[in-house]
Structure 1
Amino acid sequence: MIRNHPTAGFQFLNRGVALVGVVAAALPGGIASGDVLDGIADRDNTIYADDSGDNSNGQGDFVFAGTQASQGFARRALVRFDVSAIPAGATVNSAAVSLRLSHTIAGPELIAMHRLAADWGEGASDAPGQEGGGTPAAPGDATWNSAFHPATPWLALGGDFEIAISAVTPVDDIATYTWTGAGLAADVQAWIDGAAPNHGWVFKHADELSNATAKRFQSRQNPQAAQRPRLVVDYTLPCGNIAGFCSSSPNSTGQAALLAASGPPSVSGGSLDFVASPVPNQPGIVYFGGGQVNGGAGTPFGNGLRCVNAGATSVHRLPVSVAVGNQLSATLDFSVQPGANVLAGSVWYFQAWYRDPAAGGSGFDLSDALTVTFCP
């Protein structure tokens, strides 16, 4: 067995047995060009190059980049995103970070991103008013002097980061701005490959030589959730990858059903076998589609979670079978429908549905789910 784990229902009718399942209108294609991670920052802060160098704003509504008007003291925004949901071995096709500008004291200014080389903190500090000057750091906050105030200084004042610019974009008036390019994609690739630790990025003015260049952006704590810092990563899973996602709950056997695949996920191999177990010895199916429900977290359906939908492609089901020995088996034959929809390079998501009258409730349940990337 191969297994890697970190809508309304319609009726499937086969062999005289009515099974509640999920169907969707078939769409052309069946190839998913890539998976997408779309997430909000999990940590941010601003460090301030004022006289003390010990101000911060860990819980503030805003982060800042640029210089202030009177003395030209710099502000730098530190922002980190969790990319651990991207499987090891994935290839990053593109990465883009978006920030919402909410206030400015300057016209167009170049704001650059650099990959941070050291870990840093987001403490309990929360600057008053417009937050432009920060507030005295709380324990664990990042400051101009310290990665974690007061005990862990940066190696260099103002933060430890790579000299190379990962991305740069001109920021002018109030709007949403996006940073993208090969540098950002390379940073994320390094993180998921384990070549570099993920400490996020620093946003700073490209030169910090002039006064009055500061830009204020919405932070991850900002009450306007849609305007919080956002990272979108498009990536491709390696050929032959099989990875678990979503979750399942105990059924009438007392355990949760897990879905496993055996045999190489190669269209030239002829077929791929699936087994969901343990399940009650009742009818069930394995179905597959081009999308994940709720980003792979699923949505309540019957006694379990529905984790797979059509996405941008379609939903298909394999023939009904009856579980034997608490194992529900199904075979995906690439030479006939629906297996003929599976092409080399395509990504599909699989889940098992099965009857479970002894459990009560809706009388049916589901396994967890698998992502399969098919080889030639």
Structure 2
Amino acid sequence: MSRPTCFVFALYALALPASAQLTTVAISASQDATIYWQAPGTADGGGQWLHSRFDDLADVETHDFLLRFDVASQIPAGASVQSARIELVCVEVFSTAAFPLVAQRVTQPWTEGSSDAAGNEWTGVAAQAGDVTASHASFPATPWTPPIVTPGVVTGAAIQPPGVWILPSTPNAIAAAQAWLDQPAANFGLYLSTQETVRFASRENGALPGPRLVVEYLPPCGQVQNECVATPNSTGHGATLGWSGSTSLAQNAFTVTLAGGVPNSIGFFFFGTLAQQTPWGNGQLCVDGQLFRLLPAVPFSASGAAQRPLNFATVPANQITPFSTWRFQCKYRDVAAGGALFNSTDALRATFCP
């Protein structure tokens, strides 16, 4: 079976819509292993190190390694990946020539195994059942079916001194992470190789951090949930927010609803991007950051209900952009309760769709 071929790679930056709020997650490798091309019956899936080695005299690669990150267990379904980079801790470099370390997508499932070679693990140990090797995706039952990688590079990095190496986000890295999120059954991980000789900490190292995939993503649009706690008003219970219509900006039909308010009172709705829970009047201020008022004030019904439709085409609701997340709240009059003479609802957090 032939070894995978290396390709060049390019850096990539992705523009985000205004007010879009990224979430960042660092995903530790769920599988990693070195494979030994000159000794295909050996393995090191449980070892503390990962190697990529090139034999200059023989002009062949002798060691490469595999990584897999369980993206779907760490990022909610429906999220939109905006960047994806790999972080590796390098402990040994034998050259600083021009050949990069590159990552390519693996085409088939493989099992890490538990074999653990001695010392710095430049030599593997005899493969046991379930080990991945240069000849087997899972020894001894499942040989690799060529090709074991897809054409093209996911990401890569120039050879550099020992330390934290970052394989930057690229269009292919974003596409790979998105595919692993959307189709976890087809997540077979990455194959990393270089025409130099380097050693990295594995996920089993213990003393040093193992490989990580750092992903920035936009949360799934359309998610709406309540936050903060509504303080009871003069009716004996707190006023809470809900919603009706659609979170699609194109449909322009999102309405914030209120229940449990003071009958025949009046209040105004407002929104912002951040969360807090700070005493405010007789209640809590649950929204932070720059705040936008939805005026005019809204009268409550005899049952203490109210609603505020949003028009995304006009100020201030035109601040809301696709994939952005906002928090809504209502401040209302409560004279019968005394004190500050006003109270507030809980908060409603919504992420909007195009």
TM-score, normalising length from structure 2?
0.63
| CA distance in structure 1 between the partners assigned to 2:96 and 2:190 by the alignment | 23
TM-score, L = length of structure 1: 0.59
| RMSD value, Cα | 4.9
Match of residue 122, structure 2, among 91, 108, 132: 132
1:162 Cα deviation from its structure 2 partner: 0.6
Q: CA deviation at 1:200?
A: 1.9
2:193 counterpart residue number: 204
2: distance between equivalents of 1:349 and 1:336?
16
Q: Deviations over 1:327-355 (max 9, x none)?
A: 987535348999536334360144789xx
**Aligned: 1:230 with 2:213:** yes
| 1:372 equivalent in alignment to 2:333 | no
CA deviation profile, 1:269-305 (whole Å, cap 9, x unmatched): 66623469xx9x57899985435x8xxxxx999xxxx
Q: CA deviation at 1:106?
A: 2.2
* Distance (whole Å) between structure 1 residues aligned to residue 325 and residue 104 of structure 2: 35
**Residue 43 (str. 1) matches residue 30 (str. 2):** yes
One of 85, 109, 118 as aligned partner of 2:108? 118
Is contact 1:68-1:74 (8 Å) kept? no
- Shift in Å, 1:55: 0.7
Counterpart for residue 168 of structure 1? 156
Query: Is the CA contact (8 Å cut-off) linking 1:57 and 1:135 kept in structure 2?
Result: no
**Given that residues 352 and 369 in structure 1 are in contact (C-alpha distance below 8 angstroms), is that contact kept between their aligned partners in structure 2?**
no
339-348 or 328-337, larger mean C-alpha shift: 328-337
Q: Shift in Å at residue 151 of structure 1?
A: 2.4
The counterpart of 1:32, out of the listed 19, 26, 46, is 19
The AA in structure 2 aligned to 1:110 is P
Greater C-alpha radius of gyration: 2
What residue number does 2:246 align with? Answer: 264
Q: How many residues align?
A: 301
The answer as to 2:131 corresponding to 1:144 is no
Mapped to 1, the partners of 2:113 and 2:20 lie a distance apart of 40
Please give the residue correspondences for 1:8-23 in structure 2 after superposition, counting only pairs within 5 Å: none
Take 1:223 and 1:320, find their aligned partners in 2: how far apart are those partners? 59
Q: Does structure 1 conserve the Cα–Cα contact (< 8 Å) formed by 2:227 and 2:348?
A: yes
Letter aligned with residue 44 of structure 1 = Q
Q: Confirm or deny: 8 A CA contact 2:34 2:66 kept in the other structure.
A: yes
**Secondary structure in 2 matching 1:186:** helix
Paired residue for 2:143?
Answer: 153
Q: Is 2:327 the counterpart of 1:347?
A: no
Q: Which amino acid aligns with 1:345?
A: P
Q: Judge conservation of contact 1:139–1:148 (CA < 8 Å) in 2.
A: yes
1:132 and 1:247 map into 2 onto residues whose CA distance is 53
What is the SS of the residue equivalent to 1:73? strand
Q: Give the share of equivalent positions with the same residue, in percent.
A: 19
The yes-or-no answer on 1:220 pairing with 2:203 is yes
C-alpha separation between the residues in 1 aligned to 2:213 and 2:69?
10
Where does the alignment leave 5 or more consecutive residues of structure 2 unmatched? 1-16, 229-239, 279-285, 331-343
Task: Report the equivalent of 1:25.
Answer: none
Aligned with residue 55 of structure 1, among 25, 43, 61: 43
Q: Secondary structure of 1:180's match?
A: coil
| 1:242 and 2:242 are equivalent in the alignment | no
Residue identity in the other structure for 1:77: L
**For the Cα contact (< 8 Å) 2:64–2:193, is it kept in 1?**
yes
AA matched with 1:273? T
CA distance in 1 between counterparts of 2:44 and 2:104 reads: 19
Stretches of structure 1 lacking an aligned partner (at least 5 in a row): 1-29, 249-257, 294-298, 302-307, 354-363
